[in-house]
Amino acid sequence: MASYEKINYSLRPAKHIERKMMLDLFRSLHVFGSVASYRYIGFGSIYFSDFYLVHKYLGITDMINIEKDQFNEKRFSFNRPFKCIEMQFGTSTDVLPTIPWDRRTIMWLDYDGTLTKDVIADLKIVTSNLAVGSMLIVSVNADPESEANSSRAVELLRRRVGEVNVPISVTDKGLRKWGTAAAYREIITNQILEAVSDRNGGRNPGNKVMYQQIMHFNYSDGSKMVTVGGIFFDEGQKNLISIDGLKENFPFARTGEDAYLIRVPGLTFREIRQLDKHLPGYSAIIKEEMNIPEEDLKQYSETYRYFPTFAETEY
């Protein structure tokens, strides 16, 4: 059974918040040119949730959706929300080498499965070819091994991604809880930097390709997920990217190992409406009046601009 038949990806609240946060970070690409002129490539599944947002909020009209489920082409084509979305059917490993990489691109490798050798193969294809000024985002399932397999976690990871790709510092104990997500982020980043190094082999100093991570999210909508993303640019364009400015404007931006944990507080619609009246920021009076846990208030105050509101409707 395909993952979209088990999960409605448009109704996952933490992922919904992540998408909207990512849109803000996508806007930082304006220093390289109009964001609307970019191409967007993703795995939209049957819901096309990210394609809706990218088109409506960024104005991007050149979009490619890669779908591995070739047996349901008619259903995917029927659900395509905009005619500017080009459908490419086949595995990402087969489709990605056929795409021309001569223009700036926002590429979201949004996997519903775990980190594998196939994911690493996709990473190498994309990282080796992305035009400068482009952004690459990678999302994978980061659930740790089951209790029964926890003592073999490193062994199983080496089988999935290749022994040479697992840092020697990774241990069975270290892969518990969010440790698997941290290990995946390190492996993904190492693969990107290795491919960038290979690209720079024949380039002169001052004209080398560089990579700067700007996002690192952890969240759980039933399964632990990790998302890592960054920008590719020429060495001479380094001054265009202000990391301090990015972090000041977007507190959830992350450039290193520490992840921004998206946690969706359990609030009623009435509580949300009352809190919104006092945001940005909230006071101790509101905390006492509503008796909402401090951590929930803090999390909502950080994410309220991106917070989803789901309601039943007819159409």
Per-residue confidence (pLDDT) for residue 140, from 0 to 100: 98
Type and span of the H or E element at 122: helix 117-127
- Most confident residue range from 106-110, 235-239, 299-303: 106-110
pLDDT at 312: 55
pLDDT category of residue 285 using cuts at 50, 70 and 90? low
Asked whether the predicted pLDDT for residue 3 surpasses 60, the reply is no
Q: Which secondary structure element, helix H or strand E, spans residue 138, and what is its range? A: strand 135-141
Q: Which two tokens stand for residue 281?
A: 């920021």
Return the pLDDT at 11: 57
Question: Picking from 2-16, 177-191, 280-294, which range would have the lowest pLDDT averaged per residue?
Answer: 2-16
- Predicted confidence (pLDDT) per residue in 182-239, tens digit: 999 999 999 999 999 999 998 888 889 999 999 999 999 889 999 999 999 999 998 9
Q: Reduced to 3 states, what is the DSSP secondary structure of residue 210?
A: strand
**Helices (runs of H) and strands (runs of E) counted in the chain:** 11, 8
Please, what's the b/e burial string for 187-224 (b: 16 or more CB within 10 A of its CB; e: otherwise)? bbbebbeebbeebeeeeeeeeebbbebbbbbbbbbeeb
Mean pLDDT of 60-80: 93
Q: Give me the DSSP letters along 60-102.
A: --EEEEEES-GGGHHHHHHH---TTEEEEES-HHHHGGGS---
Q: Supply the DSSP symbol for 112.
A: S
- Alpha-carbon torsion, ordered 14, 17, 21, 26, to 10 deg: 90
Q: What is the pLDDT of residue 7?
A: 42
CB-based contact 19:224 (threshold 8 Å): no
**284 falls in which pLDDT band (50, 70, 90)?**
low
Distance CA 282, CA 307 (A): 16
Residue, of 147 and 168, whose pLDDT is higher = 168
The encoded tokens of residue 150 equal: 């926890």
Average pLDDT of 278-293?
74
**CA atoms of 106 and 104, how far apart (whole Å):** 7
State the average pLDDT over residues 14-23: 96
- Give the DSSP H/E element, type plus range, for residue 217: strand 209-220
- Average pLDDT of every residue of the chain: 91
> How far is the C-alpha of 276 from the C-alpha of 274, rounded, in Å?
5
Q: What is the per-residue pLDDT for 209?
A: 96
pLDDT at 53 over 70: yes
Q: What's the mean pLDDT in 87-95? A: 95
308 neighbors 272 (Cβ within 8 angstroms): no
pLDDT band at 4 (very low <50, low <70, confident <90, very high): very low
pLDDT confidence of residue 5: 41
